[in-house]
């Protein structure tokens, strides 16, 4: 009987501790960041991983750090091939706003930081890339599938009723006309110019310097440094040191990160993390404008 009571007590304690950890984890998730271990100066780290399709989460994180007086610098750890146009532009503008609030913003490019991801990085005070990072890709691409021949073979036909000749431009059910191709090309050219001007502004380079590099090609970190597309060669830890130096901090302070995982795992994985943001195994990628207009 005594052993059963002792066992029941242990089980009760375990359940109570588990419930407390769960509640703390939910609270940390609610407030949008891991719980800080120490007070004082901090560097906020935001990880931009994978294809950029949305901006809300990253913008919320930037605003949270930009409004916190304890955060002296923000480090964007980038492992992304780029993505949709508007989210990339929105994050770019939010980085500029954070800088206007007096925050130092440093971008650290890991495996790849190309196209829309480079667009975002170009708004930073300083860009650090590893020598073998792939970056740049200042360009815009559109890919449309046309399945008319396939549908003809299986006896499926499309009928379209429209009020304007350009209303179904890019339809997969027929080839584009010459006028339609010229129209779509004008859209891409306009967005491309926006990209070039944003890089020119963020990097403090003349348009004449950026334009020859803006043909969609990617560069290694070493090449990008030579063309002044990045400011330094180094890894994540080097970028942290640079952020601390630019924020006039003598040492790397506490690191504040946003986590999906619970508070217990956050504590175990350590606030001062020297790990790279999840390496990507994918291709370099480009900005993409998809049918349905996910630009």
Q: Is the pLDDT of residue 206 over 80?
A: yes
Q: How far apart, in whole angstroms, are the C-alpha atoms of residue 240 and residue 106?
A: 8
- Distance set, CA 185 to CA 179, 191, 210 (Å): 10, 10, 20
- Report the share of the chain in percent with pLDDT over 70: 74
Q: How far apart, in whole angstroms, are the C-alpha atoms of residue 278 and residue 79?
A: 7
Q: What is the pLDDT of residue 239?
A: 96
Asked if residues 199 and 205 have their Cβ atoms less than 8 Å apart, the reply is: yes
Q: Is the pLDDT of residue 92 over 90?
A: yes
| pTM of the entire predicted model | 0.74
Q: What is the pLDDT of residue 24?
A: 55
What would the CATH number be for the domain defined by 36-289? 3.90.226.10
pLDDT tens profile 214-236: 999 999 999 999 999 999 999 99
- Secondary structure in 3-state letters for the chain: CHHHHHHHHHHHHHHHHHHHHHHHHHHHHHHCCCCCCCCCCEEEEEEEECCECCCHHHHHHHHHHHCCCCEEEEEEEEEECCECHHHHHHHHHHHHHHHHCCCEEEEEEEEEEECHHHHHHCCCCEEEECCCCEEECCCEEECCCCCHHHHHHCCCCCCCCCCCCCCCCCCCCCCCCHHHHHHHHHHHHHHHHHHHHHHHHHHCCCHHHHHHHCCCCEEEHHHHHHCCCCCEECCHHHHHHHHHHHCCCCCCCEEEECCCCCHHHHHHHCCCCCCCCCCCCCCCCCEEECCCCCC
| Residue 107, token pair as written in the block | 């971008």
| Residue 229, token pair as written in the block | 């597309």
Q: Which of 69-83, 125-139, 265-279 has the lowest mean pLDDT?
A: 265-279
pLDDT tens profile 276-294: 233 333 333 333 333 322 2
Q: How far apart, in whole angstroms, are the C-alpha atoms of residue 7 and residue 3?
A: 6
* Greatest mean pLDDT among 29-43, 152-166, 237-251: 237-251
Residue whose token pair is 């007070």: 39
Q: How far apart, in whole angstroms, are the C-alpha atoms of residue 198 and residue 175?
A: 34
Q: What is the pLDDT of residue 159?
A: 83
Output 294 or 32, whichever has higher pLDDT. 32
Is 259 exposed, middle or buried (CB count within 10 Å of its CB: 0-12, 13-18, 19+)? middle
Residue whose token pair is 């480090």: 75
Q: What is the pLDDT of residue 281?
A: 31
Query: Please, which pLDDT band fits residue 9 given cuts at 50, 70 and 90?
Result: low
Catalytic positions, written as ranges: 115, 167
Q: What is the pLDDT of residue 266?
A: 41
Q: What is the mean pLDDT of residues 158-167?
A: 84
Query: Please, which pLDDT band fits residue 50 given cuts at 50, 70 and 90?
Result: very high
Q: What is the pLDDT of residue 275?
A: 31
* Residue (of 257, 193, 203, 245) closest to 225 by Cα position: 203
Q: What is the mean pLDDT of residues 163-185?
A: 86
- Report the share of the chain in percent with pLDDT over 90: 55
pLDDT tens profile 182-204: 998 999 999 999 999 999 999 99
Q: Provide the residue ranges of all domains of the chain, joining segments of one domain with +.
A: 1-31, 36-289
Q: What is the pLDDT of residue 5?
A: 56
Q: Which of 12-21, 160-169, 199-208, 254-263 has the lowest mean pLDDT?
A: 12-21
Average pLDDT value for the chain: 80
| Residue 186, token pair as written in the block | 């004008």
């Amino acid at each position: 009987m005594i052993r059963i009571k002792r066992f029941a007590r242990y089980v009760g304690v375990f359940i109570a501790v588990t419930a407390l950890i769960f509640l703390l984890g939910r609270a940390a998730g609610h407030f949008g960041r891991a719980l800080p271990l120490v007070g004082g100066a901090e560097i906020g780290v935001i990880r931009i991983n994978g294809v950029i399709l949305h901006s809300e989460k990253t913008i919320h994180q930037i605003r949270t750090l930009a409004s916190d007086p304890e955060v002296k610098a923000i480090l964007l750890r980038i492992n992304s091939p780029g993505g949709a146009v508007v989210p990339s532009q929105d994050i770019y503008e939010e980085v500029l706003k954070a800088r206007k609030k007096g925050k130092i913003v440093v971008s650290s490019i890991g495996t790849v930081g190309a196209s829309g991801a480079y667009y975002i990085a170009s708004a930073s005070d300083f860009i650090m890339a590893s020598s073998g990072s792939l970056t740049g890709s200042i360009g815009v691409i559109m890919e449309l599938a046309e399945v008319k021949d396939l549908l003809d073979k299986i006896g499926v036909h499309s009928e379209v009723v429209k009020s304007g000749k350009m209303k179904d431009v890019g339809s997969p059910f027929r080839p584009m006309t010459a006028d339609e191709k010229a129209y779509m090309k004008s859209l891409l050219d306009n967005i491309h110019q926006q990209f070039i001007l944003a890089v020119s502004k963020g990097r403090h380079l003349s348009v004449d310097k950026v334009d020859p590099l803006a043909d969609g090609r990617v560069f290694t970190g070493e090449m990008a440094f030579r063309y002044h597309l990045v400011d330094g060669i180094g890894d994540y830890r080097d970028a942290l040191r640079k952020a601390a130096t630019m924020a006039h901090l003598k040492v790397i302070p506490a690191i504040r990160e946003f986590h999906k995982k619970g508070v217990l795992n956050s504590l175990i994985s350590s606030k001062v993390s020297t790990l790279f943001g999840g390496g990507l195994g994918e291709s370099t990628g480009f900005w993409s404008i998809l049918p349905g207009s996910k630009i």
